[in-house]
Amino acid sequence: MSVLLRNVPTIRFQRHMSVVASVLRYSEFGDPAKVIQVQQETVADPSNGEVLIKTLGAPINPADINTIQGKYPVKPQFPAVGGNECVGEVVAIGGQVGGLKVGDRVVPFATGLGTWRSHALYKESNLMKVPNSIGTVEAATITVNPCTAYRMLKDFVSLKAGDTVIQNGANSACGQAVIQLCRAWGVDCVGIVRDRPEFSKLRDYLKDLGAAEILTEEELRTTKIFKDGLFKKPKLALNCVGGKNALEVSRHLDNQGIMVTYGGMSREPVTVPTASLIFKDLQFSGFWMTRWTKENAQNPKRAEMFSELFELIGKGVLKAPAHELIAFTDYKTAVTNALSIQGFVGKKYIFTF
């Protein structure tokens, strides 16, 4: 089917086309390699306010895998289509569509839409046009990690140039976005990663991205970079690990500092000493991009965020994470390895159709 579709010119056709889409669908929770099936289905012509897109790239994020496993708190209605972000090209528009035209590249920013499909119908109001300066991979991966990084850096403390942010999981896709945004804003980002054979290579890579310092979890325990005044004490800590490492990270926070948790890779809870709450006035909060998106559909801060992210991507200041394009027909390989493929930084699979 996808072969057929690749041969269809994508720019010219308007309504009354018969488009057959390939869809990665599942009807029960379980091992994604087993429960996902490739299905073909005819996509209706776009109605008023609707836009038909052809998917150019759709990443596999950890939360997508967890959702299919049934381990994620958001439970889809069956049958469900995997995936939560993509970039597509407009191939047809319905009536009363004013802001988009055939050939535009767009990203959907509602979540739970099911993006692992070759074609999809979206409401125009759920799509955002992507400037030509933005590459396919950058656009396909903008709504989860760069947005998460952006909001966590903007919404909890007021950061100014010269302030310090500390984060663990600094090599994650989100961690890399945090590092690059900090550099763009003049904020010192100190990143923590697990020790590994290629640590020095990873450290150099992340420092090249813009990290002020990269430490192993071990090094963090004894570091004097804050005591010695090499960096200001962090106002903000970003935590996607939990457990002992989150505790160690929180010890370095300045008075009134905030730790924002957005993941828990160690599967251990965050431990908070009573004294740090009472006498250091630390605050522990969480962040979930899905909720932010849902609650801020009409918030001008959303457009402001994308505009700034597009500008930074356009300038080459914010780069896509390490990735590998993979045909959707190879979905078994992709979903099986998605949580484990590693270079010295993590690598993200991106479906092509």
Angle, CA of 264, 210 and 270, to the nearest 5°: 20
Report cis status (omega within 30 of 0) of the bond before 59.
no
| Region of 4-12, 88-96, 271-279, 296-304 interacting with a copy of itself (CB under 8 A) | 271-279
Sole residue written with tokens 């300066």: 133
Name residues contacting a copy of itself, limited to 283-312 (CB under 8 A): 283-288, 291
Paired with 324 in beta bridges are 349
| Region of 9-17, 184-192, 222-230, 257-265 interacting with a copy of itself (CB under 8 A) | 257-265
Question: H or E element: which one contains 205?
Answer: helix 199-209
CA-based nearest residue to 250, from 242, 182, 230: 242
Closer residue to a copy of itself in complex, CB, 82/242: 242
Closer residue to a copy of itself in complex, CB, 227/267: 267
| Alpha-carbon separation of residue 196 from 90, 200, 216 (angstroms) | 44, 9, 9
Min dist. Cβ of residue 77 to a copy of itself (A): 19
| Region of 34-42, 183-191, 266-274, 313-321 interacting with a copy of itself (CB under 8 A) | 266-274
Closer residue to a copy of itself in complex, CB, 178/270: 270
| Region of 83-91, 261-269, 317-325, 333-341 interacting with a copy of itself (CB under 8 A) | 261-269
| Alpha-carbon separation of residue 217 from 127, 189, 226, 248 (angstroms) | 41, 15, 15, 8
From CA 140, how far away is CA 351, in angstroms rounded?
10
| Residue 276 binding a copy of itself, by CB under 8 A | yes
Q: Which residue from 49, 62, 264, 314 is in contact with a copy of itself, where contact means CB under 8 A?
A: 264
Name residues contacting a copy of itself, limited to 6-25 (CB under 8 A): none
Closer residue to a copy of itself in complex, CB, 13/288: 288
Closer residue to a copy of itself in complex, CB, 130/246: 246
Instruction: Map residue 187 onto helix, strand or coil.
Output: coil
Min dist. Cβ of residue 274 to a copy of itself (A): 3
Whether residue 127 contacts residue 100, with contact meaning beta carbons closer than 8 Å, is answered with yes
CB atoms within 10 A of CB 80: 20
Closer residue to a copy of itself in complex, CB, 211/259: 259
Min dist. Cβ of residue 146 to a copy of itself (A): 18
CB atoms within 10 A of CB 79: 13
Whether residue 268 contacts residue 110, with contact meaning beta carbons closer than 8 Å, is answered with no
Whether residue 288 contacts residue 296, with contact meaning beta carbons closer than 8 Å, is answered with no
CA-based nearest residue to 24, from 91, 90, 88, 80: 80
Residue of 72, 122, 205, 349 with catalytic role? 72
Name residues contacting a copy of itself, limited to 69-98 (CB under 8 A): 73
| Residue 269 binding a copy of itself, by CB under 8 A | yes
CB atoms within 10 A of CB 71: 10
Min dist. Cβ of residue 253 to a copy of itself (A): 13
Has 72 been annotated as catalytic?
yes
| Residue 278 binding a copy of itself, by CB under 8 A | yes
Closer residue to a copy of itself in complex, CB, 57/169: 169
Min dist. Cβ of residue 39 to a copy of itself (A): 30
Q: Which residues are catalytic?
A: 72
Q: Which residues bind a copy of itself (CB under 8 A)?
A: 73, 242, 261-264, 269-288, 291
